[in-house]
Amino acid sequence: MSLSIAIVGLPNVGKSTIFNSLTRQKAESSNYPFCTIEPNVGCVKVPDPRIDALAKISDSEKKIYSTIEFIDIAGLVKGAHRGEGLGNQFLSNIRDCHTICHVLRHFKNEKITHIEGQISSKDDLEIINLELIMADLKSINKKLEDKKDKKLNNSALKDLLLKIKNDLENNKLIKNLDLTKAELELIETFRFLTQKPCLYVFNVAEQDLGKTTEQILKEADLNLEPANVILVCGKMEEELTELSDEEAKAYLADLNIKQTGLEKMIIAGYQLLDYISMLTTGEKETRSWQIIEGTKAPQAAGKIHSDFEAGFVRVEVVPYLTFVANQGWANAREKGVAKMEGKDYVIKDGDVVLFHFAK
C-alpha cells in the first residue's frame, strides 16, 4: 500500500487548491464553504532521479515510481460532531490513511471569506483537533457500551480505553500519550484519528515564502515540530500546474524557491513515517519500493511478493552510487561490490537489491 495522506482543514483555508496543485487535478475550489462534498482522491508518483539513472543502465522496458495518495476531505467546522455544517461524516474516509495533513490558513485576503470570521491558524487547528477527539471518543463509547463484547469484562483493554477516554476529554491527543508497546497493540485495530502522525501545511502569502518555519510558527503562536511543518503558497502552487516542468523550475528559480509544495510534502511525509526507498532494476523494469527504515531483508522481500519472504534465502545488494559507478550488475559482481546478505541484513535507503529465494 502506497503512502496515503488525508488533507483536512476548515472550509476556505485552501485545502482543495493545495490538493489540486499536489495532484494536478481539477477538484472544485471556490470561495464558499463546503464546495468539497465527496472526498477527492489523487495519486501522484514520487519523483526519484535514481529510477531514471538505473533504468538507463539496465535498458529497462518500464519505470515504476513509488506513489503517494492524497485524500481531500470536506471542510470541517466548529461543532461538526453535533451536526454543524456537513457534520464529521467524512472522517471515516481517513481512518486508513497513514498520516493527516492539516492545512492552516496564514494569509489575509478580504475576498476569501473565513468561516470563523478571523484568520487564526492556532484556532483553526484547535477546532479540527477537537473534531478528531470527538470522533475518537465516539468510537470508544461505542465499544464500551457493547454489552455483548466479552473481551471488555475486567480486561486490560477496558481499563486502557477508560484511561484514553479521560485523556481525550481533557483535550489530549492519543499520539501524545505515553503508551507502552503492549498498550499500542491493544488499540491497533481502532485506527484512532488522534493517534495518527501529522503534517502541518501553512498556506501563506507569496511574500511570506521567504520567512523561516520558526518565524511562521511564532506568528501563529503554535508550538509544533518544525520538521513536520511545510510552508506553501496555494495560489502560487496552483499557477505552477499551468506550466510545463521546465517553465515551473525556471519560475521557482526566479523566486529563489528550491522545492515545490509536492516535493516538500514527500520529504516531510517520508521523514515523519520513517520511509525509505528500496530499488530494483533489470531489463523488464526499474522500480522504487516504499519500506520502513529498519526493515530486514526477508520482510523487504515480502513487499515485492509474499512468496519472496516465505522462501527468502539471501539478498544481493549494491548501494545506488556504487551501482551507477559500475554501470550495472555484471561489473558490480565482477569487481566484488555486489554483496550477498542474509536474513538479518537491514535494507538501507537507495540499496539496489536482487532477492534470491527458494521456489
In single-letter form, the type of residue at position 101 comes to C
Q: What percent of the chain has pLDDT over 70?
A: 86
Answer yes or no: are the C-beta atoms of 80 and 116 closer than 8 Å: no
Average pLDDT of the residues in 134-152:
83
Of 5, 49, 6, give the one whose Cα is nearest residue 288: 49
Q: Is the pLDDT of residue 321 over 90?
A: yes
Contacts of 51 (CB under 8 A, 6+ apart): 63, 64, 65, 279, 286, 287, 288
Between 58-62, 150-154, 308-312, 344-348, the lowest mean confidence (pLDDT) is in: 150-154
Q: Is the pLDDT of residue 267 over 80?
A: yes
What does pTM read for this prediction?
Answer: 0.86
pLDDT: which is higher, 358 or 203: 203
Domain boundaries, the chain: 3-271, 294-357
Q: What's the confidence (pLDDT) of residue 154?
A: 63
Task: Enumerate the β-bridge partners of residue 229.
Answer: 200
Q: What dotted CATH number matches 294-357?
A: 3.10.20.30
CA angle, residues 139, 140, 142, in degrees to nearest 5: 65
Q: Is the pLDDT of residue 177 over 50?
A: yes
Average pLDDT of the residues in 263-271:
92
pLDDT tier, 31 (very low <50, low <70, confident <90, very high otherwise): very low
Q: What is the mean pLDDT of the chain?
A: 86
- Three cell numbers, residue 76: 470541517
Q: What dotted CATH number matches 3-271?
A: 3.40.50.300
Q: Is the pLDDT of residue 101 over 50?
A: yes
Contacts of 172 (CB under 8 A, 6+ apart): none
Sheet-wide strand order for 40-45? 40-45, 67-72, 3-8, 99-105, 198-203, 229-232
Q: What's the confidence (pLDDT) of residue 349?
A: 97
Average pLDDT of the residues in 227-242:
89
Contacts of 123 (CB under 8 A, 6+ apart): 116
Average pLDDT of the residues in 158-183:
95
Average pLDDT of the residues in 6-20:
85
